[in-house]
Chains A and B, each alone.
Chain A
Amino acid sequence: MRRAGLLAEWLPPLVVIVLAFAIWEAGVALLRVPDFILPAPSKVWMALLRWREAIWFNASQTLYTTLVGFAMALVGGMGLGLAIGYSTLVYRALYPLLVGFNSVPKAAIVPVLVIWFGIGTVPAILTAFLISFFPIVVNVATGLATLEPELQDVLLSLGASKREIFTKVGIPRSLPYFFASLKVSVTLAFVGAVISETVASNKGIGYLMIAASSRFEVPLVFAGLIVVAAMGVALFACFAVIEHRLTGWAYRGPALTA
């Protein structure tokens, strides 16, 4: 991409972020908000530097649980999505259960997971998995369900089997849906891991924030929030790039979204 193009792409979000921090900083200073209610960005930055080792340790734990849970969701979601898209029977049998399951707030499941697996890594991984699983299933199944009937006719009248139609057309066609769901799912997985850590863990960025808030280290709480946000953006961006690389054919014109 040309230099001017890069600048045009990165300048607006950068300006907005810098401006938001500037207003925050000025607002806190002008209204004399105490640190334990809303610390200024400069204070948050200082907390970030001061606690960088603890933050780094806990953030990498969260990243680990997120990615393991997400990997499970990816495999399971793709598999179940394909099964649902392939067979109307599987679709009818499982869909109501899936929708019902997705409606259960995942925070409510964490205590159950803790009873089963104890506090720590495992409930975080499972919460990340449970929360990020559903969008992948639905998207993959949608990609398969929206196959043009004429295309099926063309292939059927060539003597193609159902399996051939599935592999030659169904799967490639569902890939853009799959990748679109990944960037949503990965951020959800992150939310799941952090929720589980805040409820029941002794490691992770969620735990760090809860521990800090119980000690009124509010700047550290905010440092944790900012780290969470930054990691979310980074993961989203990673999968947006992968999506664009692998299914560029689905984006014909200048992209409207990331």
Chain B
Amino acid sequence: MIEPAATEAFVRLDGVTLDYQHEGQPVRAVEDVSLNVRQGEFVVVAGPSGCGKTTLLKVLAGLVVPGKGSASVGSVQVRGPQKNVGMAFQNPILLPWRKVIDNVLLPMEVVAPHKARFRRHRAEYVAQARELLASVGLEGFGDRHPWQISGGQQQRASLCRALIHNPQILLLDEPFGALDAFTREELWQVLQALWMQRRFTVLLVTHDLREAVFLADTVYVMSTRPGRIVSRTPVDIPRPRTLEDTFGAQFTDTYHEIRRQIGEVLGR
């Protein structure tokens, strides 16, 4: 495995092992996971369900503390809940009493330094949020309530909420898992366009390998529980990648290579 040198790593997991209690018994969720992410890198962690992918994201966000090993973001060790992370999940969890635009602005009311200036400079922030919404194809939807837009649109808004405050890292937990195939592929392109424009550092976990290959600079494959990293595959397909590319030789070769690795992990 060729890792990026530790010195250029922006996000690091170093020998992370974590158990959680299940009916009084410790269950090992992840074991000895190490990975390095460069600033601005798009990393996808792929693996079968229940392999502890979500746990890794929680470790990075500082929501759970690993039993062994450590995590660091921007050379600062993660010791408690992070202050400047963007998260999005399979479920968009927008607040139903807020309009879409106010949902997107939620981080600005909480994250320093924005929260101190939010009230007085509201117009400026609203303009920023509208611009972001427009860039994901939600122009003119800001004043609706979440339940007045479709599931795919809600997930777009959820992405905007995760990005509005320019987080140090974006953590995405199967964000497109609940969408139909057409919407999902459309959102791959939306996310890719956002990433190409803003170059944030992102860790996305998924069990969809096409999604992994389409979006990632680097795909890590995890084994079943206890989750370990079993392979690291750089994806060199030039960007912007199109849906047409997913039928090309380079894409399918990478896909099959990763598929084979997962097959080995599962023993079939």
Contact = CB atoms under 8 A, between A and B. Distances in A.
Interface of A: 148, 150-151, 153-160, 164, 168-169, 172-173, 175, 247, 249-250, 252
Contacts of B95: 151, 169, 172-173
Interface residues of B, number: 30
Contacts of B161: 154
B82 interface: yes
Contacts of A160: 110
A150 B93 contact: yes
Contacts of B61: 153, 156-157
A257 to B, nearest CB: 18
Contacts of A155: 106, 110
A250 B63 contact: no
Contacts of B81: 156-157, 159
B111 interface: yes
Interface in B138-186: 145, 147, 161-162, 165, 171
A158 B97 contact: no
Given A153-B87, A158-B83, A172-B97, 16 more contacts: A151-B95, A153-B89, A154-B87, A154-B88, A154-B93, A154-B162, A156-B61, A157-B61, A157-B87, A158-B85, A158-B110, A168-B110, A175-B97, A247-B97, A249-B96, A249-B97
A164 B96 CA distance: 18
Contact of B82 (A159, A168, A172, A247): A159
Nearest to A172: B97
Main secondary structure of the interface of A (DSSP, over half): helix
Contacts, number: 66
Interface in B103-143: 106-107, 109-112
* Residue of B62, B84, B93, B109 with highest tally of chain A CB at under 10 A: B93
Contacts of A153: 58, 61, 63, 87, 89
A192 B165 CA distance: 52
A164 B97 contact: no
Contacts of B96: 249-250, 252
Given A156-B81, A252-B147, A151 B110 contact: no
Nearest to B89: A150
Contacts of B171: 157
B91 interface: yes
A4 B220 CA distance: 62
27 contacts: A150-B89, A150-B91, A151-B95, A153-B61, A153-B63, A154-B89, A154-B93, A156-B81, A157-B61, A157-B62, A157-B81, A157-B82, A157-B87, A158-B85, A158-B110, A158-B111, A158-B165, A159-B81, A159-B83, A159-B84, A159-B110, A159-B112, A168-B110, A172-B97, A173-B95, A175-B97, A249-B96
List the 8 closest A-B pairs by CB distance, nearest first.
Answer: A159-B83, A157-B85, A157-B61, A156-B81, A160-B110, A249-B97, A158-B110, A252-B147
Contacts of A150: 89, 91, 93
